A and B are shown apart, each in its own frame.
Chain A
Amino acid sequence: MVFPRQKLLAQKREAAEARLAPLTLPQGGKWITAAREDARARLAATGLPVKRDEYWKYTDPASLTAAQAPEAALYEADRDAMAFADTERLKIVFVDGVFDPAASDELALDGVEIALLSDAAQADLHWARDLYGALEADGQTPVERPLAAFNTAHAAEGVLIRATGKAARPISLVYRRRDAGADVLLHHVLKLEPGAELTVLEDGPAAARFNQVMEADIADGATLHHIRVQGRDHERRTVAHLFARLGAESVFKSFTLTANGAMVRNEAVIRLNGKGGVAHIAGTTVGDGAFHHDDTVFITHAAPGCESRQVFKKVLRHGAVGVFQGKILVEQPAQLTDGYQISQALLLDENAQFLAKPELEIYADDVKCSHGSTSGEIDPVSLFYLRARGIPEAEAKLLLVLAFLAEALDEIEDPDLAEELRGRIENWLRRHTD
């Protein structure tokens, strides 16, 4: 007799085998080949996700796992400028996943070492060797994340950043597209030494299909800010994994703005390993029509006195679908944990859909954890109040939508960046009225 579980596993392994068979590992030295082979073996063991997976219940992984990436039309580039244009930053530009040295700044910055994965793979960069694929591998339990293992095995490019002090400027990763069918893997590794401070910005549609992994090792007392803008091209597909490990008294704040996209799955896997660490993961999503957006977050409190916040807000219309799977796991030593999680959707019509699975699992006895999830429409009483003061309906709705998103946008610490993202959302909302 075949048990359903075994049958599912066999199906997943077959899918992985079929996907991996025609692929060879990228060129590289000994250490990276070892890491890639390890990831490939792990993937062969877990298999690729299928629709029947509990963790993929609300999001069909088929278009993310298929051998061929579905094409995605290129958006007219002049309609919406890239983000962060007014921010003093060090730019690292990728076009269809290929590093573009002419468009990039020199990879040198006070307080930071920067290397391309393709270069480092040939050399022995010891800190990267110890980290590449390590947080991803740790993040495979208790829930497997096969598409991240696939990335570790097959990504040929990415950026390796080691911050030893306070970075003089933010590092800005810019993802441009030229090819309607590009299937791109990028794998970034960030290492913040004790007390270091760094801001990483990401912007752009990247590819027709983009599989990204970012591993961030944040040592004691270090601070990492991460702001990501995933936008524009409507037909593009993205699966992004963010793995972070936080030391004592360290801070990690990550914010993602997603507009458009046929399929986006953003996973964040955070482990608070040292006393007094702070992790805030937030996001704002605006979707209209053929749009599926999934935030899947797993935060583990492994040390006492840490704080975590998850703040996710989605505005959906015309059949757009939003998904939130968020978990706070408080391990037994993590006394005095302060955990907060909120996921909310504003559905602008009856066709939009929000699916949420908030979870708490707590083994410590002295903790403060709260979670909430709501979906609803624009409050008619508030709308009438604004209109009764002479504000036209469309403008009043815009004010209320922005008000709904405010709690998430407030998570961005830099006021200029917060204002820029708010402006981008406002422009998007003005384009997407009835």
Chain B
Amino acid sequence: MLEIKNLHAELEEDSEVRILHGVNLHVKAGEVHAIMGPNGSGKSTLGYVLSGRDGYEVTEGSATLEGADLLEMEPEERAAAGLFLAFQYPVEIPGVGNMTFMRTAVNAQRKARGQEELSAGDFLKLVRAKAKDLKIEPEMLKRPVNVGFSGGEKKRNEILQMALLEPKMCVLDETDSGLDVDAMKLVSDGVNALRDAGRAFLVITHYQRLLNHIKPDVVHIMSEGRIIRTGGPELALEVEEQGYSHILEAV
């Protein structure tokens, strides 16, 4: 599904600031991978570079989604190809209705894939059903995108978009940050409901606790722009018990 080889990236503004130093990662369809690591290790940058955010320059390496070169594509093309980034800080956009936003996104992707666009009525039915599963009030759909949403509501809104867009490769960037226990359960249930053999997840997180809800197949530890250790779910427990410094020292 997702193949990252020797990926190097630096800040566009300042080539002295190198953030990714040769990331190698292979996520197969149906798998859930977790990336853990201390602050500043490059976890979130990896998500941004994969999704095409401005400000980063890839200097070496490759990233492909089902064989297609992601790095050559515009952000919207990556999305249409099946990549989804759930933002750590979902953006508030006053003046754009949440529903309008989501329908425009769904139909833009359908159009890009040569599928027929959904009518307003069909979309409404779809979004209502999915919103109900995530306990999203209909009123939240009418408000401007993320404006006035609580931290939990913003994250649930991200998962709702994911459920509507049905991407192949989902990157969750610190989706647990700012969530209380109940909200984390709700968001995790939403993610788990989307798990299937044709879809893969990359879960970026500081803490092990999210991984109690979203059980990973593989856990990677990232430090200084590199994956320094890879293991099973037990690796996350090791981090939880002993902290990152212990693992970093051992490498």
User: Closest approach, in angstroms, between the C-beta of A305 and any C-beta of chain B?
Assistant: 30
Closest B residue to A405 using CB positions: B95
| Contacts A384-B53, A388-B51, A390-B80; A406 near B95 (Cβ below 8 A) | yes
User: Closest approach, in angstroms, between the C-beta of B159 and any C-beta of chain A?
Assistant: 13
| Contacts A384-B53, A390-B108, A404-B95; A399 near B165 (Cβ below 8 A) | no
Closest B residue to A407 using CB positions: B95
Give the interface segment out of B21-29, B58-66, B86-94, B200-208: B86-94
Does B52 lie at the interface of the complex (its beta carbon under 8 Å from any beta carbon of A)? yes
User: Closest approach, in angstroms, between the C-beta of A108 and any C-beta of chain B?
Assistant: 42
As a 0/1 sequence over residues 403 to 425 of chain A, the CB contacts with chain B under 8 angstroms (1 = contact) are 11111000000000000000000
> In whole angstroms, what is the CA distance A405 to B85 when docked?
28
Pairwise interchain contact A389-B93, C-beta atoms closer than 8 A: no
Write out the residue numbers on chain A whose beta carbons fall within 8 Å of the beta carbon of B74: 387, 392-393
A-B interface pairs (CB < 8 A), number:
75
Task: Say what secondary structure dominates the interface of chain A.
Answer: helix
Identify which of residues 71-111 in chain B touch chain A, using a CB-to-CB cut-off of 8 Å.
74-76, 78-80, 85, 87, 90-91, 93-96, 100-101, 104-106, 108-109
As a 0/1 sequence over residues 172 to 194 of chain B, the CB contacts with chain A under 8 angstroms (1 = contact) are 00000000000000000000000
Pairwise interchain contact B75-A384, C-beta atoms closer than 8 A: yes
Write out the residue numbers on chain B whose beta carbons fall within 8 Å of the beta carbon of A405: 95
Does B112 lie at the interface of the complex (its beta carbon under 8 Å from any beta carbon of A)? yes
Pairwise interchain contact B101-A386, C-beta atoms closer than 8 A: yes
| Contacts A385-B91, A390-B80, A391-B105; A400 near B96 (Cβ below 8 A) | yes
> In whole angstroms, what is the CA distance A369 to B91 when docked?
30
Write out the residue numbers on chain A whose beta carbons fall within 8 Å of the beta carbon of B93: 382, 385-386, 400, 403
Identify which of residues 191-249 in chain B touch chain A, using a CB-to-CB cut-off of 8 Å.
none
As a 0/1 sequence over residues 106 to 126 of chain B, the CB contacts with chain A under 8 angstroms (1 = contact) are 101100100000000000000
Closest A residue to B94 using CB positions: A403
Does A380 lie at the interface of the complex (its beta carbon under 8 Å from any beta carbon of B)? yes
Closest B residue to A387 using CB positions: B75
Write out the residue numbers on chain B whose beta carbons fall within 8 Å of the beta carbon of A98: none
Pairwise interchain contact A389-B105, C-beta atoms closer than 8 A: yes
Pairwise interchain contact A390-B79, C-beta atoms closer than 8 A: yes
Partner of B91, one of A382, A395, A407: A382
Other than the given A391-B104, A400-B96, 16 more pairs (CB < 8 A) read A382-B91, A384-B52, A384-B53, A388-B75, A388-B76, A388-B78, A389-B165, A390-B80, A390-B165, A391-B108, A392-B74, A399-B100, A403-B94, A403-B95, A406-B95, A407-B95
Q: Which residues of B contact A (CB under 8 A)?
A: 51-54, 74-76, 78-80, 85, 87, 90-91, 93-96, 100-101, 104-106, 108-109, 112, 144, 161, 165
A sample of 24 cross-chain residue pairs with beta-carbon separation below 8 angstroms, ordered by A number, consists of A386-B93, A387-B74, A387-B75, A387-B79, A388-B76, A388-B78, A389-B76, A389-B79, A389-B101, A389-B108, A389-B161, A390-B76, A390-B106, A390-B109, A390-B112, A391-B76, A391-B105, A393-B74, A393-B76, A395-B108, A399-B101, A399-B104, A403-B96, A406-B94
